Amino acid sequence: MMNTAFIELAANKHRDEMNFRALSLLAYWYSACGDRSVPDRHAFDPIALRDWLGFISIYEHAPTLSDFTNRLEGTLISDMTGQDWTGQKASDVDRSFGSKFGDELSEVLETCTPSIDIVPIFQKRYRTATKILMPVAGKGNDKASQVFLAMFPNW
């Protein structure tokens, strides 16, 4: 069952600056859960995500490193930021920007709950993006092992 309260809260919290394409992706995430706590990769494949594909990066949990590896950087995210983090770790992002991105990914993975926020684009002064983090399980698996990051420009 879709958690419309979370979507409504997110929309109200960031009403003036949110990119509303983010809400449609978040609604898709909830619908793809079905009766599970998180959707699996069968639901989150490139065909199903075609409307949002360039805005998505995939971070895979690497438990032995206590980190996350960027397996795919969305082309529109790279265009927006001027950087491609494919193959890099969340800890590399944290070192570069003094952020807590790895902690955010861990929390989303552990709680099986997506997050949505407005974040600055450090590479572009005075620009922001709507950021969503969504936990996703492997194909045929119930446990989340990846976090899909989606970033939509707010300009």
Give the CATH number of the domain where residue 91 resides.
3.30.450.20
The rounded distance, in Å, linking the Cα atoms of 148 and 6 is 18
What whole-number distance in Å separates Cα of residue 42 and Cα of residue 139? 6
Number of domains composing the chain = 1
pLDDT at 2 over 50: no
pLDDT single digits (tens) 28-73: 999 999 888 999 988 888 898 999 999 999 999 998 889 999 999 9
pTM for the predicted model, two decimal places: 0.86
Distances (CA, A) of 111 to 98, 114, 136: 24, 8, 12
* Domain interval for residue 22: 4-153
